[in-house]
Structure 1
């Protein structure tokens, strides 16, 4: 499922306090770039952060999950560097900004 750019724009607007978050095409979704580094992506209808194993474990404990997709050959691929952001943080800019800072280490 292709991601809706409007979701990426909403997330970018929520993260405005971090600086100039840019939206770039990424596979069938939209990548979010800050200071030249991908920090996250909107894939399908979910927002994922690029995180280390420690942050992944913390996010998973709060209901986040790894990005996964099915290859043309039917094999399921799971990418545990990308973890979905729990819904509780999405609608509040301050909460989402703090969450992204804590999970990715961006300033």
Structure 2
């Protein structure tokens, strides 16, 4: 894929069976919402899904990293979003399954 927008559109297309999924702007990246619930973000061509106690171990098994960014005071880790492993992105059925769990995590957000 040659651009960030093509990548976002590809992810949007794969996740369309979830329901009404929309793209939006999010802190220099792209957010994906399903029926108003943000469950996914794309930052610098990396895909991150929302996690909770139910799906976190799958990310840890792949040694996935939480979303992070650098501030003048050091790194900030957002442990409610983890990077989706490349193997999952390459398998559309698996990607959709992980997205369903991420959407559940977003709905159950405390």
- Retained in 2: the 8 A contact 1:53–1:81? no
Deviating beyond 3 angstroms after TM superposition, the runs of 4 or more aligned structure 1 residues are none
Q: Does 1:90 align with 2:96?
A: no
State the number of aligned residues.
103
Counterpart in 2 of 1:20? 20
* 2:84 equivalent to 1:77: no
The TM-score, its normalising length taken from structure 2, stands at: 0.82
Asked whether the equivalents of residues 48 and 85 of structure 1 are also in contact (C-alpha less than 8 Å), the reply is yes
- 1:37 corresponding residue in structure 2: 37
How far apart, in 1, do the equivalents of 2:62 and 2:90 lie?
A: 16
| Secondary structure of residue in 2 paired with 1:15 | helix
Q: Residue 52 of structure 1 contacts residue 81 of structure 1 at CA under 8 Å; is this kept in 2?
A: yes
Q: Structure 2: which 5+ runs fail to align?
A: 106-110
TM-score (norm 1): 0.84
Distance 1:36 1:50 in 2: 14
For structure 1, the 5+ residue unaligned runs are none
Query: Is 1:68–1:77's contact at 8 Å kept on the other side of the alignment?
Result: yes
Q: CA RMSD in A?
A: 1.9
Contact 1:5 1:30 in 2 (8 A): no
